[in-house]
Structure 1
Amino acid sequence: MTQPNLHLAKQGNEQAIATFIEKALRTKAIATKVSLTDGCLRIMLEAAEIPDQTTCLKQIYRALLHLQIPLVKSVQVYACQQDQLPVWADQCSANRLGLLKGLAKQGDEEAIAALLSRALAHQTVEIKAQLQNAHLSIYLSSDQTPNQRAAVTLIERELAGFSTNLIADVQVFGKRTKSDSPDWTEEFSRQVPAEGVVNPPATEAIPVSNLLKSRAGQPLSAQQPAQPPMEWTFKFNYLKLGFVSALAFYGLFSASDYTVDGFLIANNGIMMFMHGVNLIFHEAGHVLFSPFGWFIYVLGGSLMQILVPAGICGYFFYTQQRYASAIALCWAGENFWDVSIYIKDAQDRILPLLGGEISYHDWHYLLLHTSSLAKAQPFGNFVYTIGILIYAFAVFAGVYYAQIDQKAETASGK
C-alpha cells in the first residue's frame, strides 16, 4: 500500500481502509466493504464460498493493529456469501488491547503471549506461547526462576477471560534464561465462565451519614458512654477483646498481602472485600473534590478513602466512644495499605481500573505531574509503613479500651 493511501486509512478513509484489509486478506476471492459511523468500523466480507472465520479475523485484526486508526473505537466484522445474510460475525474494541484479545480469541500465539506478558509485566519474564490441538504451552523465562504460584494464578485469570473454544488445556513451563530445562512445570484445564466473564455483583453502600446518626429518642446522658479507664486493669469485655484480637491477627498475617502481586492474585477475600468498600469512598472523593482543580480532583479519591475512616474515628473519639474510635482507626490504617498498592503500581499500571482501559491511573498522573514517577515504589512503601504504624497503634488502643471501666460499674451500682 502506498504511503498516501496508508495515511488516508489512518485518517479513517473508508475506501483506503477497505483496500488495506483486502491486501491483508491476500486473496481476490473476498470482496471487502467498509463503513465507519460514530467510531464503529463495520467490515463486510463477501465471497462465493463462506470465508474462513479464524483466518480472516486474524488477518483483519493484525491489519487494524498496524493501522491504529484514532477515529475507530470498536470493530464489527461480518462474513456472508454473495447477497446472503451474514453467516458469522465478530466484534472487539479497536484499541491495542481489544485487538490483541480479538486475535487471542482466534488462537493467535503472538497475541496470547503479548496479553500474558502484560498480565505478568511486573515479573519481568519473557513469554512464548504455542497452541496445538487445543493444548496451549506457555514458556516463561527470566534471569531468576519465575514465581510459580503468582505466574500460574495470573495466567489462569487472564486465560479465563478469553472467549474462545480453541484452548482447552494449558501447560506452563518456568525456567531461568540460562537454563536448558524447565525449573518447574504446571498443567491445568482452562476455566471458562458460563456466559463470558462475570462481573462480581455490586454491593449496596451504607451512607456515612447512617453511621454517624445519634440514637434518637434517648436522653443525652444515655448517648454518652462511660469515660474510658485511665489505667490498666486487665479486666476485659471479652467480646470487644475478641474483635480487636481478630483485627490484630488480620494485620499480622494479611498486611503482607497488600502488594500489587497480592491484589492481582486476590487470594485474600477480606482484603478484596475491604477494597470494594474503600472504592465507594474513593470514587466519591473524585466527585467531592472536583471543584478544586484537576490535580486535587485526582488526588481526592485516595484522600477521601482515608479521610472517611479518619473522620469517623475523630467523631467517636470526640463523643468519648474510645473503643469504637480505635476500631475506626484500624480501618484508616488499612486504607493506607490499600492506597499504597495503587501508588506502587504507578509505573507499570497493570492493576484493573474501574473504568476499564480508557481510565487514567490516579497515581501515575500525580507522580508524573510532580516529576516523582521514579519514586513510586519508595513512596508507596512509605505510605504502607504509615499504615502499619497507625494500625498497630489502633490495635493497642483497642485492647486498652476493651477493658471494663470499674468506675462506671461502681457508679451504676453493680
Structure 2
Amino acid sequence: MRESLERARDWLLDTPDEVPPAHVYARAALLALVAFYGFRLARMDIPSWEMAGSLIHLPMVPIHEFGHILFRPFGEFMTNLGGALLQCALPLVFGGILLVKNRDPFGAAVMLWWSGVAVMDTAPYVYDAFQPQHVLLTGRTGDTGAHDFIDVLGDLGLLMKAQPIARGVHAFGASVTGFALMWGAVVVWLQFARRR
C-alpha cells in the first residue's frame, strides 16, 4: 500500500532536477489566471445560465454535441447523457496523456481544472430541466426529446429534484477546480525550488 502511494506521489508531483525559471514563472502566471477565471465561473448564477456567456463555454458546445453522436450506439439514455459525459471526460483524457506520456503533472492539473469547469457548465442545463426556460440549440426551450436532462433525470425518476441536483453538480465542479488549483500550486512550488 505504501509503495503504491509513493508511486502515485511520484507521478502526480514529478519534478525535473532542473526547471528553467521562465517555465516556472509562466506556469505560475497561468495558474493565477485559471484561478481567477475559475473563481469567477464558480460564482456565476446557475438559474440564469450565466455561464453560457463565458468564453470557455463556446468550445465545450461542439464537444458536448459530439458526445451525443459518440454515445448513440449505447442507446437513448446514453445518447442523452453522452454530451455531458464527453464534455467532462475529454479534459481528463488529455490530462492522463500529459501525466503518463509527458510526465507533466502541471498540465494534468490544468486539464483537471478544465474538467471541473465542464462539470460546472452542465449545472445550469440540469437546473433548467425542471422548468425549461432557456432556448437550446434546437431553437426551442426543452421539450421532451430536445433537452438532455429532462430525459435523463426523467428516466431516473429525479426530474422533480433537478434544481438541487444542479446545485450539487455545480458544487462538485467547483470542488474539482479547487483541488486542481491546489495540485497545480504544489507542482509550481516544487518546480520553483528547482529553478535553474
By the TM > 0.5 criterion, same fold? yes
* Larger CA Rg, structure 1 vs 2: 1
Q: Which residue of structure 1 lines up, in the alignment, with residue 177 of structure 2?
A: 391
1:325 matched to 2:108: yes
Tell me the amino acid that sits aligned with residue 289 of structure 1: F
Per chain length, whose mean CA-contact separation is higher, i.e. which structure has more relative contact order (CA < 8 Å, sep 6+)? Answer: 2
Structure 1 segment 215-294 matched on structure 2, within 5 A: 227-228=14-15, 237-263=24-50, 271=54, 273-294=55-76
CA distance, structure 2, for counterparts of residue 309 and residue 297 of structure 1: 19
CA distance, structure 2, for counterparts of residue 258 and residue 247 of structure 1: 19
Q: Give the % identical residues.
A: 29
Question: Which structure shows the higher strand fraction?
Answer: 1
Report how far residue 228 of structure 1 moved: 1.8
The number of equivalent residue pairs is 174
Provide Cα deviations, 1:150-206, integer angstroms capped at 9, x if missing partner: xxxxxxxxxxxxxxxxxxxxxxxxxxxxxxxxxxxxxxxxxxxxxxxxxxxxxxxxx
User: 300, 306, 309: which one pairs with 2:91?
Assistant: 309
Structure 2 gaps of 5+ residues are 1-12, 18-22
Length-normalised TM-score, structure 1: 0.39
SS of 2:56 mapped into structure 1: helix
Tell me the amino acid that sits aligned with residue 40 of structure 2: F
1:300 matched to 2:86: no
Report how far residue 263 of structure 1 moved: 2.3
1:400 matched to 2:195: no
Structure 1 gaps of 5+ residues are 1-225, 231-235
Structure 1 segment 2-401 matched on structure 2, within 5 A: 227-228=14-15, 237-263=24-50, 271=54, 273-319=55-101, 320-357=103-140, 360-401=146-187
SS of 1:260 mapped into structure 2: coil
CA distance, structure 2, for counterparts of residue 263 and residue 253 of structure 1: 11
Alignment CA distance shift 1:384-1:300 (3 Å): same
Alignment CA distance shift 1:291-1:389 (3 Å): same
Provide Cα deviations, 1:257-279, integer angstroms capped at 9, x if missing partner: 15131428x6xx5x2x2111111
SS of 1:259 mapped into structure 2: coil
Question: Which structure shows the higher helix fraction?
Answer: 2
Provide Cα deviations, 1:4-29, integer angstroms capped at 9, x if missing partner: xxxxxxxxxxxxxxxxxxxxxxxxxx
Report how far residue 406 of structure 1 moved: 5.4
Alignment CA distance shift 1:356-1:262 (3 Å): closer
CA distance, structure 2, for counterparts of residue 406 and residue 251 of structure 1: 26
CA distance, structure 2, for counterparts of residue 371 and residue 227 of structure 1: 44
SS of 2:77 mapped into structure 1: helix
Report how far residue 405 of structure 1 moved: 6.2
CA distance, structure 1, for counterparts of residue 84 and residue 64 of structure 2: 6
